[in-house]
Amino acid sequence: MDEYPSGWAIGWTAFAGIMMIMGGVWWIISGIVAIANDTFFVVGEEYIFQFDTTTWGWIHLILGIIILISGFGLFTANVWARTVGVIIAVLWALVAFAWLPWYPVWAIVFIAVSIFVIWALTVHGHDIDAA
């Protein structure tokens, strides 16, 4: 392996960090909206993972804060940030899957983004240490 990582490797890790920061902010905002106004989000179909909208708000708020902190931690090149980032991205995908009845398009987008984040952190995450 080369002593210096490629720009692509650093770029994918930076992409993962930026996506986590943006996703964390989005989840925080949607969590605050769900807590403040529980009639804002309307479910269309019967779904097995149906919770109260306020419960989803708290889940989104807490998960969004953790995603945001982990996204900022990726830019410090810490191993803990990559490890937490992968774990949180898996939880992010699971929560987005369970959130499908409320906003199906956004849930699918967040599942796809979390898969890219997991890939970037597991394949190229260690390369940012050398940079």
Could you tell me the mean pLDDT of each successive run of 10 residues in the chain, 131 residues long? 66 86 90 84 64 82 90 83 88 85 85 90 68 54
In a domain, residue 2? The reply is no
- What domain range is 75 assigned to? 7-39+49-130
- Judge contact between 16 and 117, C-beta under 8 A: yes
The number of folded domains in the chain is: 1
Does 110 reside within a domain? yes
- 44 lies in some domain: no
**DSSP per residue, 77-122:** T-HHHHHHHHHHHHHHHHHHHHTTTT-HHHHHHHHHHHHHHHHHHH
| Contact (Cβ atoms closer than 8 angstroms) between residue 74 and residue 16 | yes
- pLDDT value for 4: 64
118 found inside a domain: yes
**Model pLDDT, residue 42:** 66
- Asked if residue 88 is part of any domain, the answer here is yes
pTM of the model: 0.77
pLDDT for res 17: 87
